[in-house]
Structure 1
Amino acid sequence: MVSQGRPTAEELAAARERTVPDVVAPGLRVLFCGINPGLWSGATGLHFARPGNRFWPALHRSGFTPRRLRPQEQLELLPYGLGITNVVARTTAKADELTAEEYRLGGAALVERVEQLRPRVLAVLGIGAYRTAFGRRKAAVGRQPEGIGATEVWVLPNPSGLNAHYTLDGIAAEFRALRESLPPQVD
C-alpha cells in the first residue's frame, strides 16, 4: 500500500479486490457505511481517499468534526463516536462493478456487524446501495422506518465525486440533519 502521495497507475491496478480495514469500536454514535472502497482507498488503505470524494469536507461542514480531517486522520473519528465501514468490502474502480448478490451478502454481513457493535445510527452512504443490500426498493434519503435492533438507519447521499445529484452543500445538509437528530455527545 502507498503510505503517502498520489498512487501510481500500477499501485491503483494492484489495489483491485483489496479490502480496507474498518474504523470501528463498540457503541459508536454513527457508523458511516460506504458502498465499497475505490481504487485510491485500496491503494492507500484509507477510507474515502480519492481527492474528489466529498465525505471528509461534508463531515466537517455538517458539524460532525471541528475541522476537516484528511483520510490519513481517519482514526481521529473514533473519539467523536464516529466510524467507517462498507456494504461490500472488495475494492473496485466503480461501484457498478458490484453484483446485486454482493450487495445482498454485504447487507447481511453489515447487519451482523451492527448487531455486534451496536452504534446508535448506521448511515448508509448511497441510496442505490441501501435499496439493493436491504431489499428496500422505495427507500428515500433520510431516516428509515426500519432499524437494526436499537440502531437507527439513515440513508445519506453518496459522497463520491461521481454523484452529480448532490452538491457538497447538499451532502453536508443531509449529514447535518442526521447530526442534529442525535442527542449531544457526552465526553
Structure 2
Amino acid sequence: MFTDIIKKDLTIVFCGINPGLKSADVGYHFSGKSNRFWKVLHQSGFTPYQIEAIHDTSILDFGYGLTTAVERATSRADELSKNEFDDSLESFKTKMNHFKPKYIAFLGKAAYKAFSKKKEILWGKQEEDFCGAKVWVLPNTSGLNRRFSLENLVIAYNEFYKAISEN
C-alpha cells in the first residue's frame, strides 16, 4: 500500500490521481524520472529548494501533504476505472474530514471530476468546498501530460501559490 504523507491542519494536501508504478515500487511520491512535480513545486514558489523524491516527507515542513485519489498503482492514470474512483470516494472523504486541510489541490481533472460528479471542470479554484476544504484543480505533472510544458505548469501552480499566500 502506498503511504500518504499527511497530518492534521495542513495548508494544502496535494492529491495525485494514483501512484505511478515507479513511485509504488520505490515508495516515494512523484519519483518517476519524467514527473515534474518536485521541480514545479519549487519553481512556482511553494518550496525554497527542490525536494528530492527520496525526501518526500519533508514536504510536511512547509505545511503541505500528499495523497492519492485511488491507491492502485498503474503506469497510466487512464487505466483506472470509474468504479475505482467511486470505490475510493468514501475513504478519501473520511481522510479529508479527519485531517482537515485548508486546501485540497487535485493534480489533474480526473479525480475531482469523479469525486464531484461534475461533467465539466475548469482549471484553478473551484466554487464549492470539498470536505470543508477549498479546492483547486491543477494540471498533472506526469511526464505523460505533454499538453502542459514545464513553463505552463509553473505558471498554473504559481497562480495557486499567490492566491493562498494572499489569504
TM-score (norm 1): 0.85
Query: 2:40 aligned with 1:58, yes or no?
Result: yes
Q: CA deviation at 1:137?
A: 1.3
Letter in 2 for 1:51: K
Q: CA deviation at 1:96?
A: 1.7
Determine helix, strand or coil for the equivalent of 2:156: helix
Q: CA deviation at 1:184?
A: 6.6
8 Å contact kept, 1:127–1:139: yes
Unpaired runs of at least 5, structure 1: 1-18
Aligned partner of 2:86 in structure 1 is: 104
Query: 2:106 aligned with 1:124, yes or no?
Result: yes
What are the superposed Cα offsets for residues 35-55 of structure 1, whole Å, 9 maximum, x if unpaired? 000110111001111010010
Match of 1:40 among 18, 22, 39: 22
Q: Report 1:101-180 matches (<5 A).
A: 101-180=83-162
8 Å contact kept, 2:23–2:32: yes
Unpaired runs of at least 5, structure 2: none
Structure 2 CA distance, aligned partners of 1:49 and 1:118? 26
Structure 1 CA distance, aligned partners of 2:80 and 2:131? 27
Structure 2 CA distance, aligned partners of 1:171 and 1:107? 27
Q: CA deviation at 1:20?
A: 1.3
Letter in 1 for 2:92: L
Greater C-alpha radius of gyration: 1
Determine helix, strand or coil for the equivalent of 2:9: coil
Letter in 2 for 1:166: F
Letter in 1 for 2:139: P
Q: CA deviation at 1:182?
A: 1.4
Match of 2:75 among 68, 83, 93: 93
Bigger RCO (CA 8 Å, 6+ sep): 2
Q: CA deviation at 1:81?
A: 0.2
Q: CA deviation at 1:149?
A: 4.0
Structure 1 CA distance, aligned partners of 2:154 and 2:65? 17
Q: Runs of 4+ in structure 1 displaced over 3 angstroms? A: none
8 Å contact kept, 2:93–2:131: no
Determine helix, strand or coil for the equivalent of 1:182: helix
What are the superposed Cα offsets for residues 31-83 of structure 1, whole Å, 9 maximum, x if unpaired? 00000001101110011110100100000011000011110111111010011
Q: For this pair of structures, how many residues does the alignment match? A: 167
